[in-house]
Amino acid sequence: MSQAVLFDTPGPRARRNILVANVIGGVVAAGIVGLVLWKLGQEGQLAAGRWTSLFTGSAWMNFFLPGLQNTIVAALYSVVLAVVFGLVFGLGRLAPLAPVRWLAGMVVEFFRAVPVLIMMVALYIGLGAFGVVSPRDVPLVSVVVALTLYNGSIIAELVRSGVFGLPKGQREAAAAIGMTHGKSLRLVELPQALIAMLPSLVSQFVVILKDSALGYIITFNEFLQLSRQFGGGNGNMLQALIVCAVVFILINWLLTRAAALVARRLSRRTSGRTQPRLVNAGAAGAAGTPAT
Amino acid sequence: MNLFEQVSFLFSSYNIPAAFWVNIQLTFWAAIGALLVGTVLGLMRVSPVPSLQWLGTAYVTVFRNTPLTVLMLLAVLGVWSQLKITFAQDFATNFFIYACVVLAIYHAAFVCEAVRSGINTVPLGQAEAARAIGLPFLPAARLVLLPQAFRGAIAPLGNVLIALIKNTTVAAAASVAVETSSVMRGMIEANSNMVILIFMIFALGYVILVVPVGVVTTSLSRKLAVTR
């Protein structure tokens, strides 16, 4: 339902009321901003030195950019591995053999229900204690594996719901020309389901990027960690963290826009639904399609 | 030690239920806050006032795209230690309240989207009928739209609740020390030979917390769906 039907096209009185409400809303917003600025000023947070040091070459070359690089590397590894994991277990849930379906279903449901941070911390200390990977790589590996298991099971659900979301006629047509279950899945249903799930996959990338910041808790040198180190060293913690937040918001916002764009472009190439799901609440995601 | 002895050793030397209780309390307070703020935001986004629509959209864009961990750190290292805003004298209580506030602020953006998707399930005719009998925006929303919208939003709201339950572990970044991920960390550090067992205890704890929420909200959303 478009929002325009919630209220009549405003007449003169309603327009006046809206104007008044607009002014009040604006004043309240300005008041909040003013209050924040006043508080910041009172604590000396607006001093120029605390902000200018953020925009020096050394801040970006030594802290922000390397951090961002680590974040993106972890996110890319996780995305690729999660897609593989998702395909394997998503197809497992569609398998003709019941035990395979149950096993895949149990794995997916389990990793969807466990908080990413719990997996990350257990991996971090476990891998460290057993010396499976070199100590230097432990944080990265823990972040990537935890993100892969969680997001992979979300993607498995995407694969499954993508196939289920196709019109029944697709499978029936494949059966009518004599294709077996596997052939119909491989040649008719999956290609369309995968195209239909691309926008959701792009918005899942937002979740992976956001959750990679959890690596901060297990000492992974990602963007948040290095922003914090920079802020701690230069006495401008608040400002450095604000830069970190702004960069994350920008990247994720662009990705969300890209997902919507991809959805529009692809909607003609598949009979599945290409609407990206409501973007995920991150470190947690959820069960069901509109994953928080 | 056999498995049984290991489990009873872990449960007798650490208070695992207490750790989960902290996460449940975080979930409870944050859920109330997020539901209130999120509903107001959802209404703002469908209201006739452009400045309110804009504010609602800006809020959702900002908080949906910021990692929760960054928000937790901003709250504790920025707002608490730099701006010196305290909620309670006692450190533990203070950080607990901070974590609740941050969780509520973050999830309000997702509640807003869930409420909006609920409003989308209400057919056009309902809003038109409300207008036709002369109801202005707020009474139309309160009497006609929201009651139906919430029933349509149960499934997405359930997903937000599940996300919230799991996200309470991120309170570890806000120095809430007795919640599950921190307790588990201490346990594994002290008993690294039982790492898989300890992980499974906490993982199953979350499965037990999360799965019923999913089942209940799915069945509720079917039961309460407005028949059309």
Contact B155, B217 (CB under 8 A): yes
**B65 interface with A at CB cutoff 8 Å:** yes
Give, for B220, the enclosing helix (H) or strand (E): helix B195-224
Look up residue A231 and give its two tokens. Answer: 């802020």
In order of A140, B132, B133, B161, B187, the CA distances from B216 in angstroms are 37, 37, 36, 12, 32
Of A192, A169, A168, A189, nearest in space to A180 by CA: A189
The partner residue sitting opposite B107, judged by closest CB among A122, A245, A281, is A281
**B179 interface with A at CB cutoff 8 Å:** no
Give the separation between CA B36 and CA B30, rounded to whole angstroms: 10
Measure in Å the smallest separation between the Cα of A91 and chain B Cα atoms. Answer: 23
| Burial of A106 from C-beta contacts in 10 A (0-12 / 13-18 / 19+) | exposed
**A247 interface with B at CB cutoff 8 Å:** no
pLDDT digits (tens, 9 = 90+) for A215-240: 999 999 999 999 999 998 888 889 99
Name the DSSP letter for residue B79: I
| Burial of A257 from C-beta contacts in 10 A (0-12 / 13-18 / 19+) | exposed
Measure in Å the smallest separation between the Cα of B33 and chain A Cα atoms. Answer: 16
* Mutation for A interface: B135, B166, B213, B216, most A CBs within 10 A: B166
Asked if pLDDT for residue B49 goes beyond 90, the answer is: no
Secondary structure (3-state) at B82: coil
Contact A105, A98 (CB under 8 A): no
The partner residue sitting opposite A281, judged by closest CB among B123, B160, B169, is B160
Please give the model's pTM, rounded to 2 decimal places.
0.89
Q: Which residues in chain B have their CB less than 8 angstroms from residue A45's CB?
A: 82-83
Q: What is the ipTM of this complex?
A: 0.90
Could you read off the pLDDT tens digit of each residue along chain A, which spans 292 residues? 445 556 667 788 888 888 898 898 889 889 999 998 898 888 888 888 888 888 888 889 888 999 999 999 999 999 999 999 999 999 999 888 999 999 999 999 999 999 999 999 999 999 988 877 888 899 999 999 999 999 999 999 999 988 888 888 998 999 999 999 889 988 999 888 888 888 888 889 999 999 999 999 999 999 999 999 999 888 888 999 999 999 999 999 999 999 888 888 887 777 777 776 554 444 333 333 333 2
The partner residue sitting opposite B124, judged by closest CB among A1, A26, A253, is A1
Residue numbers of A between 96 and 115 with CB closer than 8 Å to B: 109-110, 113-115
| Burial of B8 from C-beta contacts in 10 A (0-12 / 13-18 / 19+) | exposed
List CB contacts of A249: < 8 A, sequence separation 6 or more.
B61, B62, B65, B66
Contact B114, B41 (CB under 8 A): no
Measure in Å the smallest separation between the Cα of B198 and chain A Cα atoms. Answer: 8
pLDDT for residue A5: 56
Of B154, B43, B37, B59, nearest in space to B104 by CA: B37
pLDDT for residue A116: 95
Sign of torsion over alpha carbons A256, A260, A261, A266 = positive
pLDDT digits (tens, 9 = 90+) for B110-151: 999 999 888 888 888 888 888 889 888 888 888 988 888 888
The partner residue sitting opposite A245, judged by closest CB among B66, B159, B181, is B66
B123/A125 touch (CB, cutoff 8 Å), yes or no: no
Q: Which residues in chain B have their CB less than 8 angstroms from residue A253's CB?
A: 61, 65
**B105 interface with A at CB cutoff 8 Å:** no
The secondary structure of chain A as a DSSP string is --GGGGSPPP-HHHHHHHHHHHHHHHHHHHHHHHHHHHHHHHTTTT-HHHHHGGGSHHHIIIIIHHHHHHHHHHHHHHHHHHHHHHHHHHHHHT-SSHHHHHHHHHHHHHHHHS-HHHHHHHHHHHHHHHT-S-GGGHHHHHHHHHHHHHHHHHHHHHHHHHHHTS-HHHHHHHHHTT--HHHIIIIIIHHHHHHHHHHHHHHHHHHHHHHGGGGGGGT---HHHHHHHHHHHHT-HHHHHHHHHHHHHHHHHHHHHHHHHHHHHHTTT-SS--PPPSPP-STT--SSSS--
**B219 interface with A at CB cutoff 8 Å:** no
Q: Which residues in chain B have their CB less than 8 angstroms from residue A29's CB?
A: 51, 55
The partner residue sitting opposite B69, judged by closest CB among A21, A122, A216, is A216
